Amino acid sequence: MKKVLIILAGLFALFLVFVVVVGLGAAGSYNHLVALSQNVDSQWAQVQTVYQRRADLIPNLVSTVSGEANFEKSTLTEITQARASVGQVKINANSAPNDPATLAAFDQAQGQLSSALSRLMVVVERYPTLTATEGFRELQAELEGTENRISVQRQDFNTAVQGYNTAIKSFPAVFYAGLFNFHEKPYFAAAPGAETAPKVQFNFGAAPATNP
């Protein structure tokens, strides 16, 4: 009888050790998911910052360009409306988006603004007196730098999301991630040509092309 009690006590001790080890492992895994989720939130904040920077540059650009006589008003209207549509997409500014449809709507609105901005720059090339001004040159440089930062921050965001999504699908987190509200997060979708920032640079001083 005494031997049986000793064996049972040993088994119970082993069980307690197992529970402690599993508990510590689960706690470490949970903390890792928290850190990864916060990293995604941080990267999303950076994405919003660079997009807001571009939005803040648009009014100055429109003001500068509209000062040129006979400039195409429809082009200015298009970019103004595209900028306004970006602000209509509501996303919680304090956390990374968790809804693919919401992120897609945000990305679509930003894409429309990028397209309108690109078309504006094409039209601007027809006005050499405008593109030669110092104010416009400075705006062009700021926009070019902002577009490059947008590309980098989008990539960094997707990398953070990839790390987080991989973690919640890995052992042992896959068994409990959903219970603690760790769900898969959406990526920025790569559109054709998205690997390069929109062109906002000009060949100042170049002779206009002549028709043969």
**pLDDT tens digits, 72-117:** 888 899 999 999 998 888 776 555 678 888 888 899 999 999 999 9
Query: Tokens standing for 137?
Result: 């040159």
Q: Is the pLDDT of residue 146 over 80?
A: yes
**Contact yes or no for 37/164 (Cβ under 8 A):** yes
Q: Which residues contact 15 (CB under 8 A, 6 or more apart)?
A: none
Percent of the chain with pLDDT strictly greater than 90: 43
Write down the pLDDT at residue 90: 75
Write down the pLDDT at residue 27: 64
Q: What's the pTM?
A: 0.78
Q: Is the pLDDT of residue 189 over 50?
A: yes
Percent of the chain with pLDDT strictly greater than 70: 75
**Contact yes or no for 116/37 (Cβ under 8 A):** no
Average pLDDT, the chain: 81
**pLDDT tens by residue, 7-28:** 766 666 666 654 555 554 566 6
Whether the bond between 186 and the residue before it is cis, its omega within 30 degrees of 0, is no
Q: Alpha-carbon distance 181 to 212, whole Å?
A: 66
Burial label, 116 (beta-carbon count in 10 A; 0-12, 13-18, 19+): buried
- Cα angle 137, 138, 143 (rounded to 5 degrees) comes to 100
Structure-model confidence comparison of residues 1 and 200, the more confident one: 1
CB neighbour burial string for 128-147, b if at least 16 within 10 angstroms, e if fewer: eebbeeeebeebbebbeebb
Average pLDDT over residues 127-154: 91
Write down the pLDDT at residue 129: 86
| Residue 52 host element (H or E) | helix 2-66
Q: Is the pLDDT of residue 39 over 90?
A: yes
What's the longest Cα–Cα distance across the chain? 109
Ramachandran category for residue 44: left, alpha or beta (phi over 0 → left; psi -120 to 50 → alpha)? alpha
What number of other Cβ atoms are within 10 A of residue 19's Cβ? 10
Q: Specify the CATH class of 26-180 in words.
A: mainly alpha
Q: Alpha-carbon distance 84 to 116, whole Å?
A: 12
Average pLDDT over residues 42-50: 93
